[in-house]
Amino acid sequence: MGIRFVLMVNKQGQTRLAQYYEYLNLEERRALEGEIVRKCLARNEQQCSFVEHRNYKVVYRRYASLFFLVGVDNEENELAILEFIHLLVETMDRHFGNVCELDIMFHLEKAHFMLEEMVMNGCIVETSKSNILAPIQLMDKA
């Protein structure tokens, strides 16, 4: 299962979105998030965007005050995941218009729906922004 989880975390280390593609209970989630956030947030701009943690590779990227962290298994292509993160950000940007942390906080379910359109079962199924947003825009109209 390519992608195992997607996290969005702010500079202070608070989780803003957490989507897991395998079941972890609350304690496991909290522990995992804590460890990964500590590891990734300590790194600076000149360092690479890949961190190995437990049996995951974590690919992360920072946009303004928000970190996007994606946990993948060992077979996954790191650069493709970076592109995926970028696509996700662009998609949200198109929808919210200059997306920021607050947009995601107050529209968490929409962020989840977008992810749902893009990734299922850890596989990327949709990479076209308009296709991703079409159902969400329909929902907004309704």
Partner 1 sequence: MAGPSLMDSLFQRSVDDIIKGIRLSPPGTESTFIAKSLDEIRREIKSTDPQTKATALHKLTYLHSLHGADMSWAAFHSVELSSSSAHSHKRIAFLAASLSFNPSTTEVILLLTHQLRKDLSSSNVHEVSLALSTLSSICNPDLARDLTPELFTLLSSSKIFVRKKAIAAVLRVFEQYPDAVLVCFKRVVENLENGDMGVLSAVVGLFCELTEKDPKSYLPLAPEFYKILVDCRNNWVLIKVIKIFAKLAPLEPRLGKRVVEPICEHMGRTGAKSLAFECVRTIVTSLSDHDSAVKLAVGKLREFLLDDDPNLKYLGLQALAIVARTNMWAVLENKELVVKALSDVDVNIKLEALRLVMCMVSEDNIMEICRILISHALKSDPEFCNEILDFILLTCGRNFYEVIFDFDWYVSFLGEMARIPHCQKGSEIESQLVDIGMRVKDARLQLVHVARDLVIDPALLGNPFIHGVLAAAAWVSGEYIELSRNPFEIMEALLQPRTSLLTPSVRAVYIQSAFKVIIFCLNSYLKLNGDDPSYPSESTYSDVKSDYPGRFETVASQLLSDTEPDNPNMVVKHGQKPSVSSKMHHLTLESLVALVNLVETNLGPLAGSNEVEVQERASNVLGLIKLIKPKLLGCLDTREGDKANGELKASEMVELIFGAFSEDLGPVSLNAQERVPVPDGLVLKENLRDLEEICGDIELPLSTSFSLVKLQTMDATSNLEHHSKEEFEPSTESTSLLAEHRKRHGLYYLPAENAGIISNDYPPAHDPKDKASDETEDLVKLTEQSLVIKKKPNQAKSRPVVVKLDDGEGFKVAAKAPEFKADLISGAVQEVLLGNEATTSSSRRKSSKKSSKRREMDESNVGVPESKNEIVKADMPEIGFSSSGRRKHHGHGKERKHRSSGKDKVHDHKDKQKSEHGHGKHKSRQRADGALAAQSPVIPDFLL
Kindly list the residues in this chain that would bind partner 1 in the complex (CB under 8 A). Answer: 1-2, 14-19, 21, 23, 25-26, 29-30, 43-44, 46-52, 75, 77-80, 82-83, 105-106, 108-109, 112-113, 116, 120-128, 131, 135, 138-139, 142
Rounded to 10 degrees, the C-alpha dihedral 37/41/47/53 comes to: -10
**φ and ψ of 122, to 5 deg:** 85, -5
Closest distance to partner 1 from the beta carbon of 98 (Å) = 20
Closest distance to partner 1 from the beta carbon of 63 (Å) = 16
Task: Between 64 and 123, name the residue whose CB sits nearer to partner 1.
Answer: 123
Task: Between 52 and 64, name the residue whose CB sits nearer to partner 1.
Answer: 52
Closest distance to partner 1 from the beta carbon of 94 (Å) = 18
Closest distance to partner 1 from the beta carbon of 64 (Å) = 18
